[in-house]
Structure 1
Amino acid sequence: MIRAAIAFIVLVISTLIGPQPTRSQDWSPPQDSVLNATRVIDTYFSLLDSGDPERAFQMMDDAAKASISVTAFAEQSDEFHSRSGPLLQRRLLKFTWLKDPADAPLPGIYVAVDIATKFEKIDRHCGYVALYQKPSGGAFHVMRAESNFIDNAAAMKMAKFELDKAWAELSRNCPASR
């Protein structure tokens, strides 16, 4: 079975499409936090889509920057763009908010945003972006982004049951996208 699935630090998206995302019951943020987090996501992925991964890299928190070089980050972004083709649709599916979670590495506000997208060459794509804001406030920073997909070329080589099984396995990492 041919299976194309890559978990990137990069999740490439440029426009907000879809209904108003749902919010977690874990903690209800003020409306300005929702707007700020949404703007950070939009700016981050707009930079990636416009071919400026170096500036997108600067939006990451220090721990994320320490895990990958800017050169490797840019190469992954370029590789994904060549594989995916242009973005056709993005949906922000769910915002999960946490404030000062006990198991977090640092106190502050955390938000995980489940996302589903379609690209010219990838119909099956989901992932999430995790943002962090210090307790003192300020900008949200990208902590992590994950992308799970099967490109259309690989999907065409699979039997339907193999494709359905492969996608069910991958999309388990993005439960709100199913």
Structure 2
Amino acid sequence: MRAAVAFIVLVALTLIDGQPARSQEWTPSQDSVRDATQTVTNYFSMLDSGNPERAYQMMDDAAKSSIPPTMFAEQSEKFRSQAGPLLERKLLKFTWLKDPADAPFPGIYAAVDIATRFEKIDRHCGYIVLYQQPSGGAFHVMRAESNFIDNATAKKIETTNSKLELDKAWAELSRNCPNFR
């Protein structure tokens, strides 16, 4: 039944293999926290409102090279149609790193764990990784991952199997979401 679980990676950018190492956590300035939070808010706001072209422009160049803009827009629109309107988005945790040894570039990285609810998706989690060059400037999106079970699939799993099977499927899927409870 796990095959019935709707799993999608909105942006599977392979620039960073997983999340940055946590060995070089760093404490950001209040301005960095504000700027990163605003970047996350703007990025998702553009996706939620049906403007994937502008969200795509917020990605760094290396990330853009991993997915063509048309494919990004198609995946974003497909998800938006499947999810329905946004009901709630929580930024669960920011993990900050500066110049991590295993990162592709020196600079500041912010990994932001997220939990979201939509009209047609109650079970949704993921993360977004932001990058800022050592010289400063705007944060750019390096990677975003989205994991979910839409409500129709959840109902089918529960009806066909059991609530326990649904809970097990979601527990397995949400393991990909750091700090999700």
> TM-score, length-normalised on structure 1?
0.90
Off by >4 Å, runs of 4+ in structure 1: none
Distance 1:44 1:8 in 2: 13
Matching residue of 2:6: 4
**How far off is 1:7 after superposition?**
1.7
Cα RMSD for the two superposed structures: 1.4
Partner of 1:85: 84
**What SS class does the counterpart of residue 47 from structure 2 fall into?**
helix
* Residue number in structure 2 paired with 1:160: 163
Secondary structure of the residue aligned to 2:169 is helix
Q: Which residue of 1 aligns with 2:73?
A: 74
| Deviation sequence 1:103-162 (CA, Å, 0-9, x none) | 111100000000000000000000000000000000000000000000000000112111
Letter in 1 for 2:5: R
Counterpart Cα distance in 2 of 1:127 and 1:27: 22
Q: Report the AA paired with residue 165 of structure 1.
A: K
Does the Cα contact within 8 Å between 2:131 and 2:142 map onto a contact in 1?
yes
Q: Tell me which amino acid in the other structure corresponds to 1:66.
A: S
Segments of structure 2 that go 5 or more residues without pairing to the other structure are 13-23
Structure 2 match to 1:32: 31
Equivalent residues, number: 165
Q: Which residue of 2 aligns with 1:105?
A: 104
Q: Does 1:63 align with 2:65?
A: no
Amino acid at match of 2:45: S
Query: Is 2:179 aligned against 1:176?
Result: yes
Query: What residue number does 1:53 align with?
Result: 52
Query: Deviation of residue 3 (structure 1)?
Result: 1.6
Q: Residues of 2 paired with 1:175 and 1:139: CA distance?
A: 25
For residue 60 of structure 1, give the secondary structure of its aligned residue in structure 2. coil
- Contact 2:92–2:113 (Cα < 8 Å) also in 1: yes
Quote the Cα distance in structure 2 between the aligned partners of 1:70 and 1:7.
15
SS of equivalent to 2:106: coil
The SS at the match of 1:114 is strand
Return the alpha-carbon distance in structure 2 between the equivalents of residues 143 and 99 of structure 1. 15
In the TM superposition, residue 36 of structure 1 has moved relative to its aligned partner by: 0.3
Could you tell me how far 1:9 is from its partner in structure 2?
0.8
Deviation at 1:175, TM superposition (A): 2.6
CA–CA separation in structure 2 for the residues paired with 1:129 and 1:73? 15
The whole-number CA distance in structure 2 between the counterparts of 1:42 and 1:4 is 25
Structure 2 residue aligned with 1:22: none
CA distance in structure 2 between the aligned counterparts of 1:72 and 1:144, rounded to whole angstroms = 15
**SS of 2:67's equivalent?**
coil
CA drift of 1:93 comes to 0.2
